[in-house]
Each structure stands twice: as C-alpha cells, then as structure tokens.
Amino acid sequence: MPIKFQVKLSDKDMYRFNMYHAYTSAQGILSIVVAIVILLVTYVCRDRLGTQNIVIYLAFAAIFLFYMPVSLKMRSKRQIALSDVLQGVLTYELTEEGVVVATDTSDETATLPWDMIYKVVTNKHQLLIYSNRVNAYVVPLECIADQKDAVYGVFRDKVEDYRLHLK
C-alpha cells in the first residue's frame, strides 16, 4: 500500500495555497463584498460626491481588492525563502499509519495519523492535507500526476467521507 512521492514547493505553490485559504474564509469573502459595495455606492452617488471623494472611494475599493493578494504574494516568497525545509524536497509516503513526511535536509520524519487529518481538499492545482483549520501539507497536483488515482483511493479508504473534498 505505501505510495511515495516527492514535492519541491515554489513560492507560486505557496501563493496558491495562501490565496485559496484566504478567499475561502470569511475575511477574504468579506473583503470582496466590501469592495463591491464601495464601488456600487460610488457609482450610484457619483453625481453628489465630487471628484475628490470619488477618487478616495475608488482608492478604498482598490485597497480592499488588491491588498490581500499583494501581501500574500510577498508573504509566500518570504515563507519559502526563510524556511530550509520548504526550500528542500519533501518526500511524502502514504502508509498504514498515516501520511509520513521526510525532508532532504534532516533524517527526522513527521507522521500525520489518518484519524488526525482535519480535511483533505483538492483544487485546480493542489492537494491540501490539513492537519488543523489553518495548517496544511501542500502537494502540487503535478507532483502526483501519475499516481493521482492511487493517492485519492488511499485517502478515500483511510479518511472519513465528510473530511474529503476531492475533485
């Protein structure tokens, strides 16, 4: 049953994870809603606002729309740059005990038991194995392309259905 694959994360992979995580939370959704409301108010009240106020409202809308993606982009680059573990190659092995993760920089391994997996999510580019609400192992789908069905099968066998969000 052991299935093994290796992952080399890039800042782009980390950015995708951070964007997914941010925009599936209340904060990310709220930032989009607030920006849309500001734009609608600006449009509806454009005759009464004056040019200076319109510019201010548009600046606020832009902040709500673009601050989070820009800050997440910089944060992703910093996360990869500052972490020796994330700069290296991570080896994942799906065993009877759980998901075993090893790095090329250390002899130590970490095991996430099957019953401790918070949820498993796939999106267009990634397989995310959450150990809690915030932290996840990020696996780009291109790294498991040839084993995708086998990997998904193991997760379907070992993790409760309500914790699986596989596409």
The predicted pLDDT at position 50 comes to: 86
From 37, 61, 82, the end of a domain falls on: 82
The predicted pLDDT at position 119 comes to: 96
The predicted pLDDT at position 46 comes to: 86
The predicted pLDDT at position 157 comes to: 93
Q: Does residue 126 sit in the same domain as residue 150?
A: yes
Strand partners of residue 90:
7, 103
The Cα 75–Cα 126 span in angstroms is 19
Global pTM? 0.86
Q: Does residue 59 sit in the same domain as residue 101?
A: no
Q: Does residue 158 sit in the same domain as residue 146?
A: yes
Cβ-Cβ contacts under 8 Å for 48 (sequence gap 6 or more) = none
Q: Does residue 75 sit in the same domain as residue 120?
A: no
Q: Which domain holds residue 135?
A: 3-10+84-165
The predicted pLDDT at position 94 comes to: 95
The total domain count for the chain is 2
Q: Does residue 72 sit in the same domain as residue 125?
A: no
Q: Does residue 93 sit in the same domain as residue 77?
A: no
Q: In this structure, what CATH number is given to the domain that contains residue 160? A: 2.30.29.30
Q: Does residue 75 sit in the same domain as residue 138?
A: no
CA atoms within 13 A on the CB side of 147: 17
Q: Does residue 103 sit in the same domain as residue 77?
A: no
Q: Which amino acid is at 150?
A: A
Output the CA–CA distances (angstroms, integers) from residue 59 to 55, 66, 74, in the order listed: 6, 10, 21
Terminal C-alpha separation, the chain: 22
Closest C-alpha among 19, 8, 28 to residue 124? 19
* List of the chain residues with pLDDT < 70: 1
**pLDDT tens readout for residues 88-99:** 999 999 999 999
The Cα 69–Cα 116 span in angstroms is 31
The predicted pLDDT at position 142 comes to: 95
Q: Does residue 66 sit in the same domain as residue 89?
A: no
Q: Is 143 exposed, middle or buried (0-12, 13-18, 19+ CB in 10 A)?
A: buried
The predicted pLDDT at position 118 comes to: 96
From 82, 106, 132, the end of a domain falls on: 82
